[in-house]
Amino acid sequence: MTTRPGQVIANADPGAILAARADEVRAAIARVVAGGCFVLGPEVEAFEREFGAWLGAPFCVAVGNGTDALEFALRATGIRPGDGVVAPANTASATIAAIVASGAQPILCDVDPATMCLSPERLTDLLASPRGASARAVVPVHLYGHPCAMAAIDAAVRARGLVLVEDCAQAHGAVAGGRPAGAWGQAAAFSFYPTKNLAALGDGGAVVTRDRDVAERVRGLRQYGWRERHVSADPGGRNSRLDEIQAAILRVRLRYLDAENRRRRALAERYFRALEGVRCPPRPEGADQAVFHQFTIRISNRDALVARLAEQQVVAQTLYPVPVHRQPAFHACAPAEAGALATCEQACAEVVNLPVHPALADGDVDWVATQVLAWVREGGPGREPR
């Protein structure tokens, strides 16, 4: 067996990406230290302006993390305890945790077999069925940075007068049907967790919206439910603020985001060309653009491939290995009807996320692709799992 001399190829490498911007990041931190204001100050305001402008969103409200952003987006768009909120089952458990935190009931919907994102057809069927009768909102997740089929999803949501809130935690800069991911719904939630395409040195998140009232409500929710200072008006409020150091760092990182997304696309293109015969993600073009938060192939017997790659110093992940309705916290969301989430379940059993972050060299991706192909050609997918 040949091993590649040198470093482990990480699945995500926030430290390496940051190292390339170390001087600017240090200067941003020094500016905050000298300024003496540390939470919800001028850096946060500037970041909200700049990120909103970058997305073409009139309002942006920064919060403590992406889970809170999604919960607050649901509350601020009028979702009330007991309302149904539709989401896919093959997502970060954070998507469902946020729905539950808003007091709503998750209603899980199956996905498209090619994109692994919410299927407009399955959504339409679900909304017309008894299981979908209590739905008040729909949360499409632009999973792995792949844009959902938003025109069709939006039409299904509008036909029933529901609320649309996009989970954009993996999709900063993706384009769906000619519009930025995050520009379709009444509101959208972003995360700036250190491995996301736009990342802080800790936790962070934001809600973007075209609706001034929604933005004002989120501003209240992130700070004890205040509408005016020291007077709590909204009982759902708590503390979920972004701090000035994270905002200053995010402003630096935002300037490089388009270039880093282009780099992710170029690395994905290398995988597409190299991985002939392997089931790759769809290659969006034209009015759709992916930002390859992950490059997710589908493999039967995938645990054996992940183990083989680990031996070759390559860290592959299996996001997400367990569909949410099979997780103890969310058993109550499991649909009674067997097979209702069959495509989600199959996706969770087959996905392998190959390294695709912007700190990778072309040669890293070529090495990973060579290892995957070698394993496939040796008959790896057909072998019994160890």
Ligand X SMILES: *Cc1c(COP(=O)(O)O)cnc(C)c1O
Residues in contact with ligand X by the rule CB under 6 A: 65-67, 91-92, 94-95, 141, 167, 169-170, 191, 193, 203, 205
Smallest gap from residue 181 Cβ to ligand X (A): 12
Q: Quote the least distance from Cβ 371 to ligand X, whole Å.
A: 26
Between 123 and 372, whose beta carbon lies closer to ligand X? 123
Q: Amino acid identity of 157?
A: V
Find the shortest distance in angstroms from Cβ 105 to ligand X: 18
Tell me whether residue 63 or residue 376 sits nearer to ligand X (CB atom): 63
Least CB distance from residue 84 to ligand X, whole Å? 19
Smallest distance from ligand X to CB 308, Å:
26
- Closest-CB residue for ligand X? 66
- The two tokens of residue 95 are 């998507």
| Exposure b/e, 262-273, CB count within 10 A at least 16 = b | ebbbebbebbee
Cα four-point dihedral sign 113, 115, 117, 119: negative
Angle at 268 (CA atoms; ends 266, 271), nearest 5 degrees: 115
Of the candidates 301, 314, 297, the one whose C-alpha atom is nearest the C-alpha of residue 353 is 297
Region for residue 256 given its phi and psi (left: phi exceeds 0; alpha: psi -120 to 50; beta: otherwise)? alpha
| Rounded least distance, CB 189 to ligand X, Å | 7
Which backbone phi and psi does 21 adopt, to 5 degrees?
A: -115, 25
Helix axes 66-76, 212-221, angle to 10 degrees: 130
Nearer to ligand X, 85 or 169 (CB): 169
Q: Which is nearer to ligand X, 99 or 314 (CB)?
A: 99
Calpha distance 189→76 (Å, rounded): 12
Are 142 and 176 a contacting pair, CB within 8 Å? Answer: yes
Tokens of 366: 């070529």
- Nearer to ligand X by Cβ, of 104 and 376: the residue is 104
Compute the least distance from the CB of residue 79 to ligand X, in Å.
16
What lies within 8 Å, CB to CB, of 9 at 6+ separation is 313, 314, 315, 355, 360, 364, 367, 368
Tell me whether residue 209 or residue 294 sits nearer to ligand X (CB atom): 294
Nearer to ligand X, 91 or 102 (CB): 91
